[in-house]
Amino acid sequence: MSEAADEAAGAEEAAAGEMAAEEPVVVAEEVVKRYFDGGRRVLAIDGVSLEVAAGELVVLMGPSGSGKTTLLGLLGGLITPTKGDVKVAGRSVVHMRDHHRTAWRRRHVGVVFQELMLVPGMSLLENVLLPLAPLGGAGKDEVARAEALLARFGLGDERDARVRRLSGGERQRGALARALVLEPNVLLLDEPTAHVDAENAEAMLELIAEETARGRAVIASTHDPRLAEDARVSRVVRVEAGKLA
């Protein structure tokens, strides 16, 4: 792929950045996702429409298997919908060439996965810097920013620790740091409080609220009612059997 194509994507992106001020950052329109799992067909998401604006913290509530992870993947451009459209920062991520979509995601979307997905053999800092490699790696500024992020998350002393040595709460916050290292407009969190105790869950929620206050559009899935009832949450959306209730 040429650098010119990258540059073109960059220019469009700048234009979209201006648009994002007026429009919701994430827009899903009549999204359907059907899985084909060896002869079995699963309608995981069945016609969902949703808009999330900058500075909003939206919680997706629903039982296990209701389609929360799938919906987050669709909203972040990680999963291609069977039908419908998803716009992130003003551009449809459905009708994009693969590498453009990836570049777009890298720029606009940070994700904390349900299973965190940190690389166990790497240090925490290496994990946090991993998204920077396609951009030419981490320079001094990027390392400083990542370190500041870790310090703010109470992980300053763990920066060189192997991930497999860290506690559940530390990993959770480490994964959040990695999702934020490229300053995304959209932050997606899949069950951010599932693996931690009440104290760590509260710390996590506080960090999430801070990031929302910085103007990011934040969407978190959970089946934990305490999260749904928290005052810092802007909106709770119920997901049931692939539909918004």
Ligand X SMILES: Nc1ncnc2c1ncn2[C@@H]1O[C@H](COP(=O)(O)OP(=O)(O)OP(=O)(O)O)[C@@H](O)[C@H]1O
Identify the sign of the CA torsion 80, 81, 83, 89. Answer: negative
In the complex, what is the shortest distance from the CB of residue 59 to ligand X, in angstroms, rounded to a whole number? 13
Name the residue with tokens 């870790």: 150
Which listed residue (32, 83, 113, 228) binds another protein by CB under 8 A? 113
- Give the nearer residue to another protein in terms of CB position, either 95 or 97: 97
Tell me which residues in 34-93 interact with another protein (CB under 8 A). Answer: 69, 73, 78-79
Kindly tell me which of 76 and 169 has the beta carbon lying closer to another protein. Answer: 76
**Which of 26, 31, 44, 150 is the binder for ligand X (CB under 6 A)?**
44
Which one, of 56, 49, 47, 42, lies nearest residue 219 by Cα? Answer: 56
- Tell which one of 48, 65, 131, 172 touches another protein (CB under 8 A): 131
Cα 173 to chain centroid, rounded: 13
Restricting to residues 167-226, name those near another protein by CB under 8 A: 178, 182-183, 190
Residue with tokens 């429409």: 49
Chosen from ligand X, another protein, Mg ion, none, partner binding at 126 (C-beta under 5 to 8 Å by type) = another protein
Strands of the 235-240 sheet, one edge to the other: 109-112, 186-190, 217-222, 57-61, 235-240, 243-244
Site for ligand X contains 37 (CB under 6 A): yes
Is the distance from CB of 70 to CB of 79 less than 8 angstroms? yes
Q: Which residue, among 199, 142, 122, has the nearest Cα to 168 in the 3D structure?
A: 199
Positions 99 through 138 that interact with ligand X (CB under 6 A): 114
Q: Which of 50, 59, 62, 142 binds ligand X (CB under 6 A)?
A: 62
